[in-house]
Amino acid sequence: MYELRGRIFRGVDGFFEKYFEGQSWTKRCKSIYQSIKPRHVDGRWADFPNPPTQDDVWAWLVQFQDDFLLDAPATYHSAQSTSSMTGGDSRRQLDIFLKPKRVKTPTHDWKDILVIGEHKQSHLGPKELLLQLSRYMRDLFTSQPTRRFAHGFFLHGTKMELWVFDRSGPYSSGEFDIHEEPERFILSLAGYVFMSDQELGLDTFIDCRGTKRTITFTNDVGGKRRKLQLDQEPFVKQRAVVCRGTTCFRTTDHNNVVKFSWTSDKRPPEADHLRLAYEKGVEGIAQFVGYQSITSIADLRSGLTFNRPWTIRGATGTELTSSRSLISQPLQLLQVSTGEPNGGSTSLPGSLARAVQPVFHNSYELKKRASVDDDDTTAAKRQRANSQASGLRHELKPDSLASLYEPSPDMYDNRQFGCLAISPAGRALDDFTTLSELLTALRDAIKAHRSLYLVGKILHRDISENNIIITDPRRANGFTGMLIDLDLAKQVGSSRSGARHQTGTMQFMAIEVLRKAAHTFRHDLESFFYVLLWICGRRTWELGFLCDPKCRPPTDKFKKWYSGGFEEIADAKLGDMHVDGFDTILAQFPKPFECVKPLCSELRRILFPCSAEGRLYIGTPPEPGPLYDAIIGKFDDAISGMASHPVS
């Protein structure tokens, strides 16, 4: 999968020393090795199965555990002879895994998994093993989204390789032979079961006591310590490993939303933008409540030396490198069996839209996947079934597909892990109940963008359906729509951040941004327009309760807004903004949205004026005021002239 491209490292210097030497339990593990060492005769483990069949190796590991690890806090298990793992969307049967000894349930849940092992009898190539282990790690991080990193290992034939996965990718100890390096073999197997929560990469920021989940900010708005109690389950998370890991919880009083994310160290934290916006009196933006910096990839990887990334070939035969030309290709590494509905139709980086919804809606549960193999109909049916089973409101996809890569001198992305609390809570944009509410929310979000840009001198740069929320105007200073998620924002006039990618969400990115132009206020306004078209012509068909799927147009014209290379997507959008092309976009609207078409046509003429030669102008005007006024004015006209059209 593209999320691992250019981010895999094998044979990292200092790996074994960092994770298995000098720990509080290292002496104990070396003592275990000395006890079992007599079984290593003439350069081989005398009792290790030969051939190393799965059943025999598992029996050997069970005996090793019974002989030496009975008092350890964790226990090895295998799901091969039991039912598949629970707590995930796909059926998995893990070869080897660890979970806490205190968890004595007969079934195995992904939330309890500490370490994952993959065993094969034969000596397979490392690509196939990494593929399988990565699939498991994706499920692990999806079920434990605030986890910082996770250990895993291969055991194939007589070879072993130890791995760590974090939000910037996987890296390993390098392969070794268990007969030729017997002490390393035993220290690895024994070390995993004695590791502390911190050494295992578990979340130690959320304080879990009984049924309560509490976080503490030491630097909130008033400079005081503040505690917030979270709901038991997040309702926003990303189904990926290498990503921002955006995970959102409601507070139990439903007044705030708490967001965990791993953001680029090249950009200031979102909290800085929110503080600045608050100080300057920006309106229509989610309010800052508190922020806590937790850790970083550089801290987690301290003491390790990384060399060149490991380049392998995916199942499609395409090299997994960081080349920009390969971003749009659906590489097969890390492809999951559940597929991705609609080929990647919603926003990615750090989105908070679902993070502010007080109520679940069983009629439509949006979930994202990371492969693009399944057809829309099959995937959509599966997504609804899986969503209702898991109770999740929203999952986000990996960051990479929505980003335009630039060469980076850094060996890996040094992401910063932080926790942000914002207020007020609200609803996702596609939870509108009337067309008037939808248009009012969009108009108010544009007003918020104007205030952020002109008053706060901050450019949002990631306008998407997921970064606009519907709010109660009585609690949001009269705003029915607000902007959230300033992770990718930039202060006007500041220098380039040096982060690896351009900003935006693929299907909402402006044409010039797709062509790598510097981001301007007009590009964000163009993105607002795409959000309106997307909601009316694409999202409504997916909502299920709104339109009869049998009436859906046979050809999805929006698919070309996120499929193919960046230049192809830019060309497709440019063609759609011409009069003839735009008619085909409007033809995607269901009947209840016919009354929105005149507004869309007016906005197209404002954003894409046409020359006498028939060329569309897609550049940015020198003065922002007139463009904002014209767009907001057209929304005002449409809202005032529209009766309350129910959509359910």
Predicted confidence at residue 396, as pLDDT, reads: 45
Q: Which residues contact 224 (CB under 8 A, 6 or more apart)?
A: none
Give the Cα-Cα-Cα angle 571, 535, 644 (nearest 5 degrees): 140
423 within 8 A of 256, measured Cβ to Cβ: yes
DSSP state of 220: B
Q: Which residues contact 257 (CB under 8 A, 6 or more apart)?
A: 248, 249, 250, 251, 352, 355, 356, 421, 422, 423, 425
Q: What percent of the chain has pLDDT over 70?
A: 79
Domain boundaries in the chain?
2-200, 207-640
Give the C-alpha distances (Å, rounded to integers) separating 521 from 69, 438, 453, 454, 619: 61, 22, 8, 10, 11
Q: 548 vs 186, which has greater pLDDT?
A: 186
Measured between alpha carbons, how far is 237 from 259 in angstroms, rounded to an integer? 10
Q: Is the pLDDT of residue 337 over 50?
A: no
Q: 645 vs 412, which has greater pLDDT?
A: 412
The one-letter code for the residue type at 569 is: I
Q: Is the pLDDT of residue 587 over 50?
A: yes
| 123-137, 284-298, 387-401, 611-625: segment of lowest average pLDDT | 387-401
| 138-142, 316-320, 402-406, 419-423: segment of lowest average pLDDT | 316-320
Q: Are strands 207-209 and 212-217 parallel, antiparallel or unpaired?
A: antiparallel
What is the number of other CB atoms lying within 10 angstroms of the CB of residue 609? 12
Measured between alpha carbons, how far is 115 from 192 in angstroms, rounded to an integer? 7
User: Is 2-200 assigned to CATH 3.40.390?
Assistant: no
Q: Label residue 515 exposed, middle or buried (CB < 10 Å: 0-12, 13-18, 19+).
A: middle
pLDDT in tens, 498-535: 444 455 688 999 999 999 999 999 999 999 999 999 99
Number of residues written out for the chain = 648
The overall average pLDDT reported for the chain is 82
DSSP state of 358: S
Predicted confidence at residue 350, as pLDDT, reads: 32
User: Is 207-640 assigned to CATH 1.10.510.10?
Assistant: yes
Using pLDDT thresholds of 50, 70 and 90, give the confidence band for residue 545.
low
455 within 8 A of 441, measured Cβ to Cβ: no
Q: What is the 3-state secondary structure of 546-578?
A: CCCHHHCCCCCHHHHHCCCCHHHHHHHHHHHHC
Measured between alpha carbons, how far is 315 from 338 in angstroms, rounded to an integer? 18
The one-letter code for the residue type at 187 is: L
Mean of the pLDDT values across residues 20-46?
97
Measured between alpha carbons, how far is 76 from 100 in angstroms, rounded to an integer? 9
348 within 8 A of 402, measured Cβ to Cβ: yes
Q: Is the pLDDT of residue 560 over 50?
A: yes
Q: Is the pLDDT of residue 79 over 60?
A: yes
Exposure letters 332-353 (e unless 16+ CB within 10 A, then b): bbbbbebbbbbbbbbbbbbbbb
The pTM score is: 0.79
Q: Is the pLDDT of residue 626 over 90?
A: yes
Predicted confidence at residue 592, as pLDDT, reads: 87
The runs of H, that is alpha helices, within 102-225 are 126-143, 182-194, 197-200
Predicted confidence at residue 378, as pLDDT, reads: 35
| 107-121, 214-228, 275-289, 613-627: segment of lowest average pLDDT | 214-228
End-to-end Cα, the chain, rounded Å: 38
323: Cα separation from own chain's centroid: 21
Using pLDDT thresholds of 50, 70 and 90, give the confidence band for residue 88.
low
Predicted confidence at residue 90, as pLDDT, reads: 60
Q: Is the pLDDT of residue 321 over 60?
A: no
Identical fold, 2-200 and 207-640: no
Q: Is the pLDDT of residue 304 over 90?
A: yes
Q: Which two tokens stand for residue 43?
A: 């350069």
Give the C-alpha distances (Å, rounded to integers) separating 289 from 169, 200, 422: 31, 30, 5
Measured between alpha carbons, how far is 616 from 409 in angstroms, rounded to an integer? 37
HSE toward the beta carbon, residue 395, CA cutoff 13 A:
30
Measured between alpha carbons, how far is 147 from 167 in angstroms, rounded to an integer? 9
Q: Which two tokens stand for residue 315?
A: 């199942």
Q: Which residues contact 69 (CB under 8 A, 6 or more apart)?
A: 32, 75, 76, 190, 193
DSSP three-state, residue 208: strand
Q: Label residue 229 exposed, middle or buried (CB < 10 Å: 0-12, 13-18, 19+).
A: middle
